[in-house]
Amino acid sequence: MLAGYQRENKRHATIAIGCTGGKHRSVAVSEELSSLLRALPGVAVSTKHRDLGRE
C-alpha cells in the first residue's frame, strides 16, 4: 500500500483504528502499527489517540 502512495508522490496517508471504548485495543494496535511503519526508510509517523484520557 505505501509503495503505491510513494509511486504516486502522495506525501500523507491517514490510517484510523477504532474499537468500542477507544482506550485499549485501538491504542495497542495503533502503537504496534506505528512502530512497524517507523522502521521503514523515509516514513515519518504521527500518532494521535483521540479518546485516551477521556472518561
CA 27, 24, 1, 13 dihedral sign is: negative
The DSSP secondary-structure symbol of 41 reads T
| Pick from 51, 17, 22: nearest CA to 34 | 17
User: Taking the mean position of all CA atoms in its chain, how far away is CA 36?
Assistant: 10
| pLDDT (0 to 100) of residue 6 | 83
Every domain of the chain and the residues it spans = 2-38
**Cα separations (Å) of 38 from 20, 35, 50, 55?**
26, 5, 20, 30
Phi, psi of 3 (to 5 degrees): -60, -40
| pLDDT (0 to 100) of residue 45 | 95
**pTM (global) more than 0.85:** no
Q: Tens of pLDDT along 7-37?
A: 899 888 999 998 887 667 888 999 999 999 9
